[in-house]
Chains A and B, each alone.
Chain A
């Protein structure tokens, strides 16, 4: 795309639902796992029950055989049988607890992973359907965090969170009820001490999360600084700006440091407080409990069970605070995810348009309802008419293209000349429907391209952009982008035509990985791969965006020659900056500030159009003829 085009942001129906509504909508993804959820809940509840049983067993043991034996101060024969029963029961209950735990976690692993995976697949699929205008408005990092961080939040809550939201409330109520039954006064007292802790935990989790997010943002700023310093190392070295760069970096690093210290302090205070509360409760219980025992209102075993049960309260309380904040996080995450999933694709095949895109569902692979007239598969050429086409980027003050009319006859090659920012790239992207014109119609072989199914349109037209996009995949995968079924012979023919035979000399030939994660290629090599990709797609209409800009003089001559042959068998529209490229075209159209101001042959235009002369002449011309 040309520079400085997109300022406004196309976003989904933001604010149309609250986070809670979004969270509630997640049911549609959870539904297949209701059975598993139920199983997880049941096992978790049984697990909590077994934990509570242990102190009660201890009470029975202490109040029964142990105390009896201790009181009698004789041999241990009396009550030994009961003690063995209690001990074995404790062992069995402990084992049952563990079994429940394993079952719950095992089931949870299967369910939540599948849930996360299907959501991520849906996000990816939907994003692929959204037009480039959407992607221009969103940084890929924002989209990525929805597909990773946000989904993790949803995963955590929908497995662990939902189950323990219920379990911890049930445990808390149950234990308190038990305590009240053992001793009403102490029970109430304990409830009073513990209840506010939930609020404390929730507040801590919230504040901690705010700090963590802030730290994350600050770390992102720092990372950007580091990235720039790494990418711009040549400039920094050349100008000797090492110290200034280090000072800027240190400033950002200190901000991160301050936040991380804030987090540590908050953590310290919270953990201490969380430890202190049950201890305060235990101190009270010890004091009042001892008197209760001496007054005969409580047994020694009861006192012991009491202390042990109070310790069991800590976990549900702490968990509740954590889970509530987890729920909050998941709700926000759900809202962010739905924001994307609810954005309807702006450019769709005609059938889908008719069925109503508002449902946000993904369009089925469109059947070829409107076959391209006169266009058999493998057809060599096509006829293109741009009919009063205008285009304006959302939010931009001035249109990029104004009332553009251009006709390409079958088999004709037309060069598009124009200064940077005149709208050449935009014009090409309208023809493959990466964006739709604001006014006017584009006709391909007599059919409005908007009434063609996208796969048909995009297999008829192929486009190589100036900035060649290579993916981190093998050369073969990159070249066969538009034709996965191409034969080896076709691939090598395309590579030859694009002067990209260098790929055979790569360490693993066509299997060599290129792109960011692979072998790095020069700008010229990248352009030639992209060119081979467009040639291999065997389009009836070939669109090339300044395909030779990064080539050196020698290669440029060879590629130009090869292109001449390609153009002979297809209709082509070529953006050209250099006279050598223009020479390949039958005709040249001059685009100036969004308007076609002249068309004609290179020679005619040099004579008749001052603008064209400005674009195509070099001072060298005058220098040579001086």
Chain B
């Protein structure tokens, strides 16, 4: 699924990248594959009776629509009788029938259009919830390879393309197909020789539609790709306007944008011209058919093989016989992207949640107050793809101990933190919390006991109080304030314009990195875990912020087991014990003082760090 886009031709500036192409099904026959079909069937199952009623009302609608011109024809044929007998009753009956048919058609139409919309809405709602929940359940390892951009586009653009299917005319599509079948049959019943002469029109139409579908699928893709580039360039320019202006990038940007914009213009023009040929093409067939009706139908009336009324009926039928084909063909791209969206979504929903909750969770032994819990890794082996990161790793961290993990990039520090938080499961061996395998703990227990804080201190767009309360749903304002005070965040929060009710802004952008990190500490503090894991949690802070966080850590870590990873050794100094990791193995293990005196790797790091403070 990996495709290389070359830096060829006019877009050399874009460079080359291996792009994750979400596999697109090719051609209509492949569109609805087995798993898409299964998903669709599953989604529609609760709506079986609605589907049946929609089908029934569409049939009723089309019969009623069919009846209209038929009755007009009959009325026209009754006129001579009216002239001779002056009896108005037969014609009144026909007109009444016509009105009844029209009312029936309107009622059925109104009902099924809104029924399809409602059902579509429910299906989409169901799909959104399933997808969201599934993404939440999928393990961290999945999210690492499946970028957040793709998670978002599955849930936004792919679902929207399916919603668009229901929104933008599934009703008219279904109705169009039915109406062609019904009107075709009606014409055959009325006068089959004339009907056959008209139905011949489908031969060029079939060819024309096939051509249009093929061409428009390609054009549609081209339009989508070119507008995507325009949008990316536009957004990046103005998000990075400081860099653009300070490096005098404007002329070059204008040139690039001009080219992208022209590409998009060409693609749009091409798609408009396709329609400029296709729509009139359909009209041409309809117009020629009308000529045939007048000519051939006229002769048949003259020969007394057909009444005038039938000729009228045919003329009226023709006005709505071929035109729906325009909708149907235009609908093709909507349908195609919905089918592609469904295919990609079903692929995600098929992904098994590998780090799953146990069927019958084991309860933890009760926790001694203010003591933390014991962590134990026995014979743990773990690797990504081919590379083994941890070979047969053993470690015991007694309850309440604060351990610092030190080592070069790639030594396996983060992997250990993630195994301890059960973001991954070990390939072999076990990770135990107070003697219970993490895999046997319920999700609620596990997340209540162990919290991992990284430098990605994500804040949701909600108030600060709500962001803190995320650590403990239903927490009161007092509890949130207390937590903030405990980690030393209270001071800056109360200084904000709206205090605890200040909106954290888009992705917490209004706060500095240090302030965001303090809030994430408060969030961890309020959830009161027995084990706290810090992975480079203070790396991005400036010195004053780092000091604040360090003071906060004294409070936060009290009475808990802790594992701290940091390349700035200032954070490491609160540890009781230092582990130096080298290629997934313990190189040194002891108290900071012991290791300093021993003069190994840790002592080295420590000295280098001291000089950097110069």
Which of A112, A471, A518, A519 is B240 in contact with, Cβ under 8 Å?
A471
Q: Please choose the segment from B39-47, B101-109, B200-208 that sits at the chain A interface, where 4 or more of its residues have CB less than 8 A away.
A: B101-109
Contact B86 A294 (CB under 8 A): yes
Contact B235 A140 (CB under 8 A): yes
Q: B273 to chain A: which residues have CB within 8 Å?
A: 105-106, 109
Contact B288 A108 (CB under 8 A): no
Contact A311 B299 (CB under 8 A): no
Say which size band chain B's interface belongs to. Answer: 35 or more
Contact A307 B316 (CB under 8 A): yes
Residue B365 at the A interface, CB < 8 A?
Answer: no
In the complex, residue of chain A having the shortest beta-carbon distance to the beta carbon of B606: A624
Residue B88 at the A interface, CB < 8 A?
Answer: yes
Q: B166 to chain A: which residues have CB within 8 Å?
A: 260, 264
Contact A244 B473 (CB under 8 A): yes
Contact A620 B458 (CB under 8 A): no
Given contact pairs A234-B456, A234-B458, A552-B409, A3 touches B248 in the complex (Cβ within 8 A)? no
**What are 27 A-B residue pairs whose CB atoms fall within 8 Å in the complex?**
A3-B510, A54-B290, A61-B298, A98-B281, A109-B273, A114-B265, A117-B264, A120-B230, A135-B241, A140-B238, A144-B234, A222-B128, A226-B156, A233-B148, A235-B456, A240-B443, A242-B133, A246-B129, A249-B128, A257-B121, A257-B125, A271-B113, A420-B514, A469-B240, A473-B14, A474-B14, A578-B612
Given contact pairs A62-B308, A268-B109, A90 touches B128 in the complex (Cβ within 8 A)? no
Residue A189 at the B interface, CB < 8 A?
Answer: no
In the complex, residue of chain A having the shortest beta-carbon distance to the beta carbon of B445: A240
Q: B280 to chain A: which residues have CB within 8 Å?
A: 98-99, 101-102, 105
Q: Smallest Cβ distance from A426 to chain B, in angstroms?
A: 12
Given contact pairs A76-B303, A83-B299, A227-B152, A238 touches B570 in the complex (Cβ within 8 A)? no
Contact B446 A618 (CB under 8 A): no
Contact A419 B470 (CB under 8 A): no
Contact B113 A267 (CB under 8 A): yes
Contact B132 A229 (CB under 8 A): yes
Given contact pairs A228-B507, A474-B14, A304 touches B7 in the complex (Cβ within 8 A)? no
Contact A98 B82 (CB under 8 A): no
Contact B152 A97 (CB under 8 A): no
Q: B444 to chain A: which residues have CB within 8 Å?
A: 240
Give the most central of A87, A99, A303, A621: most B CB within 10 Å: A87
Q: A114 to chain B: which residues have CB within 8 Å?
A: 265
Q: A618 to chain B: which residues have CB within 8 Å?
A: 543, 546-547, 570, 613
> Which 10 A-B pairs rank lowest in CB-CB distance, beginning with the nearest?
A264-B117, A240-B447, A94-B287, A474-B15, A87-B295, A105-B276, A513-B15, A268-B114, A268-B113, A272-B110
Given contact pairs A264-B116, A513-B14, A462 touches B72 in the complex (Cβ within 8 A)? no
Q: Smallest Cβ distance from A625 to chain B, in angstroms?
A: 10
Q: Bound state CA distance, A54 and B248, in angstroms?
A: 63
Q: Smallest Cβ distance from B540 to chain A, in angstroms?
A: 7
Residue B18 at the A interface, CB < 8 A?
Answer: yes
Contact B82 A294 (CB under 8 A): yes
Q: Smallest Cβ distance from B99 to chain A, in angstroms?
A: 5
Given contact pairs A67-B308, A482-B248, A615-B543, A264 touches B120 in the complex (Cβ within 8 A)? yes
Residue B558 at the A interface, CB < 8 A?
Answer: no
Contact B242 A465 (CB under 8 A): yes
Q: Bound state CA distance, A231 and B461, in angstroms?
A: 12
Q: Mark A32-56, 1 if CB is under 8 A from B, else 0.
A: 0000000000000000000000100
Which of B241, B248, B257 is A459 in contact with, Cβ under 8 Å?
B248
List residues of B (216-245) whose CB comes within 8 Å of A's CBs. Answer: 227, 230-245
Q: Please choose the segment from B90-98, B335-343, B376-384, B389-397 that sits at the chain A interface, where 4 or more of its residues have CB less than 8 A away.
A: B90-98
Q: Given A279-B106, A300-B79, 11 other A-B contacts at CB below 8 A? A: A66-B298, A66-B301, A230-B135, A245-B132, A268-B113, A268-B114, A276-B102, A308-B316, A472-B236, A474-B7, A553-B612
Q: A61 to chain B: which residues have CB within 8 Å?
A: 294, 298
Residue B557 at the A interface, CB < 8 A?
Answer: no
Q: Bound state CA distance, A552 and B514, in angstroms?
A: 18
Which of A3, A263, A507 is B117 in contact with, Cβ under 8 Å?
A263
Q: Smallest Cβ distance from A8 to chain B, in angstroms?
A: 13
List residues of A (430-483) whose CB comes within 8 Å of B's CBs. Answer: 432, 434, 454-455, 458-459, 461-463, 465, 469, 471-477, 481-482
Q: Bound state CA distance, A69 and B305, in angstroms?
A: 12
Contact A473 B15 (CB under 8 A): yes
Residue A129 at the B interface, CB < 8 A?
Answer: yes
Contact A83 B117 (CB under 8 A): no
Interface size on A, residues (CB 8 A): 178
Residue A583 at the B interface, CB < 8 A?
Answer: yes
Residue B452 at the A interface, CB < 8 A?
Answer: yes
Q: Bound state CA distance, A94 and B290, in angstroms?
A: 8
Q: Smallest Cβ distance from A61 to chain B, in angstroms?
A: 5
Contact A286 B17 (CB under 8 A): no
Q: B17 to chain A: which residues have CB within 8 Å?
A: 512-513, 517-519
Given contact pairs A246-B129, A472-B236, A109 touches B308 in the complex (Cβ within 8 A)? no
Taking chain B's interface residues, is the majority helix, strand, or loop, or is none over half, making it mixed? helix
Residue A9 at the B interface, CB < 8 A?
Answer: no
Q: B82 to chain A: which residues have CB within 8 Å?
A: 290-291, 293-294
Residue B76 at the A interface, CB < 8 A?
Answer: yes
Q: Smallest Cβ distance from A260 to chain B, in angstroms?
A: 4
Q: Bound state CA distance, A67 and B112, in angstroms?
A: 42
Given contact pairs A232-B458, A620-B613, A97 touches B287 in the complex (Cβ within 8 A)? yes
Residue B576 at the A interface, CB < 8 A?
Answer: no
Q: Smallest Cβ distance from B176 to chain A, in angstroms?
A: 13
Q: A244 to chain B: which residues have CB within 8 Å?
A: 470, 473
Given contact pairs A109-B269, A117-B265, A286 touches B94 in the complex (Cβ within 8 A)? yes
Contact B76 A303 (CB under 8 A): yes
Which of A112, A240, A308, A477 is B315 in contact with, Cβ under 8 Å?
A308
Given contact pairs A232-B458, A240-B443, A272-B110, A132 touches B245 in the complex (Cβ within 8 A)? yes
Contact A226 B235 (CB under 8 A): no
Q: A286 to chain B: which residues have CB within 8 Å?
A: 72, 75, 91, 94-95, 98
Residue A604 at the B interface, CB < 8 A?
Answer: no
Contact B544 A419 (CB under 8 A): yes
Residue B358 at the A interface, CB < 8 A?
Answer: no
Q: Please choose the segment from B136-144, B177-185, B429-437, B480-488 that sits at the chain A interface, where 4 or more of its residues have CB less than 8 A away.
A: B136-144
Q: Bound state CA distance, A286 and B90, in angstroms?
A: 12
Which of A239, A294, A472 is B471 in contact with, Cβ under 8 Å?
A239
Q: B106 to chain A: which residues have CB within 8 Å?
A: 272-273, 275-276, 279
Contact B132 A249 (CB under 8 A): yes
Residue B520 at the A interface, CB < 8 A?
Answer: yes
List residues of A (130-152) whose CB comes within 8 Å of B's CBs. Answer: 131-132, 135, 140, 143-144, 147-148
Residue B594 at the A interface, CB < 8 A?
Answer: no
Contact B227 A148 (CB under 8 A): yes
Q: Mark A386-407, 1 if CB is under 8 A from B, else 0.
A: 0000000000000000000000
Residue A373 at the B interface, CB < 8 A?
Answer: no
Q: B302 to chain A: which residues have CB within 8 Å?
A: 65-66, 69-70, 76, 79-80, 83
Give the most central of B148, B227, B252, B303: most A CB within 10 Å: B148
Contact B232 A472 (CB under 8 A): yes
Residue B174 at the A interface, CB < 8 A?
Answer: no
Contact B125 A253 (CB under 8 A): yes
Q: Smallest Cβ distance from A166 to chain B, in angstroms?
A: 20
Q: Bound state CA distance, A265 and B527, in angstroms?
A: 46
Q: Bound state CA distance, A265 and B470, in angstroms?
A: 39
Q: A12 to chain B: which residues have CB within 8 Å?
A: none
In the complex, residue of chain B having the shortest beta-carbon distance to the beta carbon of A69: B302
In the complex, residue of chain A having the shortest beta-carbon distance to the beta carbon of B160: A219
Residue B291 at the A interface, CB < 8 A?
Answer: yes
Q: Smallest Cβ distance from A228 to chain B, in angstroms?
A: 5
Contact B136 A4 (CB under 8 A): no
Q: A463 to chain B: which residues have CB within 8 Å?
A: 242, 246
Residue A623 at the B interface, CB < 8 A?
Answer: yes
Q: Bound state CA distance, A11 and B88, in angstroms?
A: 71
In the complex, residue of chain A having the shortest beta-carbon distance to the beta carbon of B132: A249
In the complex, residue of chain B having the shortest beta-carbon distance to the beta carbon of A307: B72
Q: A556 to chain B: which residues have CB within 8 Å?
A: 612
